[in-house]
Amino acid sequence: MAKDGEGATNPPQGKCCGVVQEAAAKGTERRNKRREKAQPWIVLKLTIGLTLGIIGYASYVYIGRFCVPMIKRSKSILGGRRFGIPFLVIFCILLAMMLWSYAMIVIVSPGKARDHVEPSPEPPPRQNPVPDWWDSSSDLGHGPGQFEYRGATEGAQSNGSTTLESHAPPSEKPGRQRDDNVGDASAIPAVQQARVRNEINANGHGETSGLPAGLTRRPPMNPALLPEWRYCYKDGFVKPPRAHHCRACGTCILKYDHHCPWIGQCVGARNHKFFVVFLEWAAVFCMWTFATLVAGAVQEGRDGDLDAQYIVIIALSGLFILFTLTLLATHVRLIILNTSTVESLNKQYMTEREKALLARQFSWHQFGAKRRVRKQWDRDWGNPYTEGNLWWLGSYRENWESVMGHSKWGWFLPIGRSPQDGVNWTPNPRFHSDGRPRPRSQWPAELR
Ligand SMILES: [Zn+2]
Ligand SMILES: [Zn+2]
């Protein structure tokens, strides 16, 4: 009567392969448990020390080995004191601004869902086995994490009951979301991937396009507003819209964007603004350090007296310029589109599929034809980043201000807070009440 995973001394049917299987299963279970555990506090915060160490070393080289010798005129770098003093003052101001914004992003919590919702049992499956949003023409799936009516496909044969189940990895619980598989394309089961490959020949949604069969857009059809879809099995509650579970922090984060090791916590609803402000100051700080040190190094090199530590800081600041500017551009784009890193993954999947579809249908030089198809898709479904975005507020400015605040000072200084609370969100009226996009023909008349 040994249950699964019980009693290593009692292998199933006494066979040695049973022992091996059981050991392997236990190993997997242990690994999963370890992965599900939040990282210890000290591990989470370790990188803050590393970051401060890098900043400290850069400051030592810049002030102690670059500015001070200039001011003392012990070296003839860049005209001596005339440059040494302003360089030192500007560096200190930039350093102070960067450290201030870094302190804010490290201290301000992204917002935890558990502080706003009560634990609750798992929402029961819907009474109607075929939900009202089910579209029989969409039975080939639309992308990762799609709901599917199991009774209609590979068969929920076990107890005869019909349940809604997401395409979660097979090892996970039924009905669970993919939010802790963020960015993990391998989380799409093989059967789903096969469907995705075949869907090109399917009818899909093309009820309005007038394009050849198969040449249709398939926007992600996640019913992101259904309680079933938003239930977190690890925390045991229905999380607010846009919240996702972070494995490293071990809890659900409001408007989860990503877990950032450099700040030792997540970037979410409450600190996204400070993250952007920090990136701004970090980029300016690195650019200033890079440009002035390169100028100093060139002159020292000419004099044959180059300090090797300048090279280390030039390389580090160059690297961080690329890193921070790329991140800054990415996050400005995410904010003006009112989306998050996680939410943009589904769109990314959709655009990749469309690219492949068009490449198959047209030759590489048929740019005009491809553009016409894209325009038709946009006529059918709206622009995927604006009208076809569940959280689109109406304009780039409104989206930006909902995160960065209404005061322009707050866009560049680590002050103020985001006007949105991270819990209550206004969905785009172009979407169904469960969060699935509607074709333009079904939009409210004034928005069409
Ligand atoms: Zn959670
Ligand atoms: Zn986290």
429, 293 in Cβ contact below 8 A?
no
**Contact yes or no for 390/437 (Cβ under 8 A):** yes
pLDDT of residue 182: 38
Amino acid at position 168, single letter:
A
Tokens encoding 344: 């943009």
H helices of 164-271, in order, are 190-198, 227-230
Question: Which residues does the annotation mark as catalytic?
Answer: 260
Q: Alpha carbon of 97 to those of 74, 102, 369, 426: distances in Å?
A: 30, 8, 50, 34
Is the pLDDT assigned to residue 159 strictly greater than 50? no
Which pLDDT band holds residue 272 (cuts at 50, 70, 90)? very high
Instruction: Record the tokens describing residue 306, joined without a space.
Output: 């180059």
Q: Are strands 231-232 and 237-238 parallel, antiparallel or unpaired?
A: antiparallel
Residue 19 has a pLDDT of: 67
Neighbours of ion ligand 2 (CB under 5 A): 246, 248-249, 259, 266
Q: How far is the CA of 205 from the centre of ligand 2 (A)?
A: 37
Q: Is pLDDT above 50 for 203?
A: no
341-361 vs 367-381: helix crossing angle, rounded to 10? 130
Q: Is the pLDDT of residue 5 over 90?
A: no
Nearest listed ligand to the Cα of residue 342: 2
CA of 247 to the centre of ligand 2 (A): 6
232 CA → ligand 2 middle, Å:
15
Which own/partner contact pairs does 331-335 have at CB distance under 8 Å and 24+ positions apart? 331/272, 331/275, 331/276, 331/279, 332/276, 334/257, 335/272, 335/276, 335/399, 335/400, 335/403, 335/404
Q: What is the pLDDT at residue 156? A: 31
CA distance 174 to 191: 16
What are the backbone angles phi and psi of residue 184, rounded to the nearest 5°? -105, 95
> pLDDT tens-digit profile of 46-62?
999 999 999 999 999 99
What residues are neighbours of ligand 1 (ion), with CB under 5 Å?
232, 234-235, 245, 252
Query: Which DSSP string corresponds to 360-398?
Result: HHS-TT-HHHHHHHHHHHHHHH--TTTTT-TT--SSHHH
Instruction: Give 110's pLDDT tier (boundaries 50, 70, 90).
Output: very high
Query: What tens digit of pLDDT does each residue of 60-86 get?
Result: 999 999 999 888 876 666 667 788 899
Output the CA 236–ligand 2 centroid distance in Å.
18
Q: Is residue 292 pLDDT above 90, yes or no? A: yes
Q: Which pLDDT belongs to residue 194?
A: 37
> Is residue 416 over pLDDT 70?
yes
> Between residues 207 and 230, which one has the greater pLDDT?
230
What is the reported pLDDT for 165? 33
- State the distance from the centre of ligand 1 to the C-alpha of 436, rounded, in angstroms: 22
Contact 196, 353 (CB under 8 A): yes
What was the pLDDT predicted at 36?
A: 66
pLDDT band at 103 (very low <50, low <70, confident <90, very high): very high
CA–CA gap between residue 223 and residue 357 (Å, rounded):
25
- Where residue 123 falls among pLDDT bands split at 50, 70, 90? confident
So what's the pLDDT on residue 343?
A: 92
The C-alpha angle 50, 56, 57, rounded to 5 degrees, equals 90
CA dist 371 and 367 (Å) reads 6
- Reported as a single tens digit per residue, the pLDDT across 163-202 is 333 333 333 343 344 443 333 333 333 333 333 333 333 3
**Residue 214: pLDDT band with limits 50, 70, 90:** confident
More confident residue, 213 or 354: 354
Per residue in 302-351, pLDDT tens? 877 788 999 999 999 999 999 999 999 999 999 999 999 999 998 899 99
Residue 77 CA to chain centroid, in angstroms? 45
Average per-residue pLDDT in the chain? Answer: 79
Q: Is residue 112's pLDDT more than 80? A: yes
